[in-house]
Amino acid sequence: IHAPGMEHVRDMVNGPINHPVITPYSTNYWNAGGLVHVQWNPDNPWNGGFSGNTNNIDFPALFTPGSPAHTNYLAMLDEVALGLRQLGDAGLTVLFRPLCECNSTQNWFQRRARDDYIRLFRWTFDYLAKTQGLNHVLWVYDALDGPHAQVPVTYYYPGDEVVDVFGVNLYDDDW
């Protein structure tokens, strides 16, 4: 008996998206009855470092059109849109989990001012869903719970109008 589950696409977590590999693999998985989950932790838009690089964070600059950080973030969103569009064109509905574990401290977008995170999540949603027209995407919000949570799981929740699935990540205390 074949019982597909959920595929977690890791290539979109950091850096460029490997479209030639992801699209056919994910399409085959979807066609076999599986769910495709894409996690995206964007690289640092201020200095080009990976998502865990927390140097040079300046949210007002990120939200300022024409600033290098704003331009870099839009370029990353365009890259994500390309990959998600290819999956949509192949007939897939995608669970998309951007900016995950918002109440953690591992990535540049985590544990920031509540309003900054919510604005970033909503901007990401607006750009991909509205500007890029990606309507085959189910938006996933998640937070940490358990021994590693610093604030409640709902603290950064960006709102029902931009979230389709609410999830909680729970890790053991020995990691």
Question: pTM of the entire structure?
Answer: 0.89
pLDDT tens track for 125-167: 999 999 999 999 999 999 887 655 677 888 999 999 999 999 8
pLDDT of 15: 52
Print burial letters for 64-94: b (CB count within 10 Å at least 16), e (below 16): eeebebbebbeebbebbbebbbbbbebebeb
pLDDT of 68: 97
pLDDT of 148: 55
Low-confidence ranges of the chain (pLDDT < 50): 1-3, 11, 13
Strand, helix or coil at 153? coil
